Amino acid sequence: MKYQKLFEQYNLSGNQLENRFLMAPMTRSRASQPGDIPNALMAEYYAQRSTAGLIITEAVQVSLQGKGYAKTPGIYSENQIENWKLITDAVHENGSKIFLQLWHVGRVSSSKVNGLQPIAPSALTAQNTSVYIFDGAPNGDATFIPVEEPREMNQSDIDTVIKEFVKGAENAIEAGFDGVEIHAANGYLIDQFLRSNSNKREDEYGGTKENRIRLLIEISSAVANAVGKEKTGIRLSPFISFKDMNDPEILQTIMLAATALNKLDVAYIHLCEADWDDAPQIPIDFRIKLRDAFKNTIIATGNKTPDEGEKLLQENLVDLIGFGRKFLTNPDYPARVRQNLSLNEISDNHTLFGGGEARGYTDYSFLR
């Protein structure tokens, strides 16, 4: 077989995966309103794509304060918990595993989205950064608006956020998820604490690299204690700097975090890698250092081809390969790869975030 490793089974901290294809988290904004409730349409979408060995859900806010984009689902109300069971049941019936991604956007938000002033490690507005609302634009399109100035978090805010991540994790397990992924990437709240350009604090959560990783480690430890370290994964994005997140110290900070996460013995680190055409490539030496620092599962996601994914697996630099847009348009992506068949392309960019609800969401064709 051409892609021997990709189609191998894999044991992820007790979760037996049928292959090493991972469906990456992708915000799609189909949650029912009011209340940001998961629904039957979302269950159909995830069930269709349970050809992946493991699915990581779209980012899911742990509180209303943590919400940054319209129509994204939550995991903090009873109604949300009950309706997530539609998704977990559908995925499990098809033989796949599914983790929920826990999300707090921090400063990447606007009061027009959730009615609240954003919060962040420091009162610094993210430059050239937008979020979206739905305000009756043509085709049901999202309207992008600039983020607002955040309020600097005090200790009470930090304590609250840690509790929200823990409660979100507990709620996810109650809803039937196999585990949770803590979103510490892509310029959102935890990533804002990690980076020297967005974190100007002078207390125990700022200044040194050791202090800047403190919130990540406290949240990870608390979640692992609550639901199990084998059910706890972390997403990081060392080479992504959009949302005004360019930090010259981030690689050393991430490696320090990886060493601390290794001591916690969490299930995995998920590298969110840049996915545009001329994006920076992650150096092999970084992958080698990460493998030395972190002994459990490593996941790489970022516009990989099957050939690139297979090579990384064969070289034992990563253990699972995440695919995003290829699963978005090809629910049966692994079968198409196995048979070397053509792929569906995105039918209409208007449908990526909300748009026509089912159109461009659950209507992509399967192989005959």
Angle formed at CA 28 by CA 26 and CA 29, multiple of 5 degrees = 135
Place of tokens 């990709």: 6
Whole-angstrom Cα distance, residue 16 to residue 9? 7
Q: Is 188 a catalytic residue?
A: yes
Read off the DSSP letter of residue 153: P
Residue in 3, 76, 188, 205 annotated catalytic: 188
The token duo for 29 is 């904004």
The token duo for 257 is 């975090």
Q: Which helix H or strand E contains 73, and what residues bound it? A: none
Neighbours of 26 (CB within 10 A): 15
The CB-side HSE value for 298 (13 A sphere, CA atoms) comes to 23
The token duo for 123 is 């009162």
The token duo for 339 is 């048979």
The token duo for 15 is 């979760």
Q: Which residues are catalytic?
A: 188
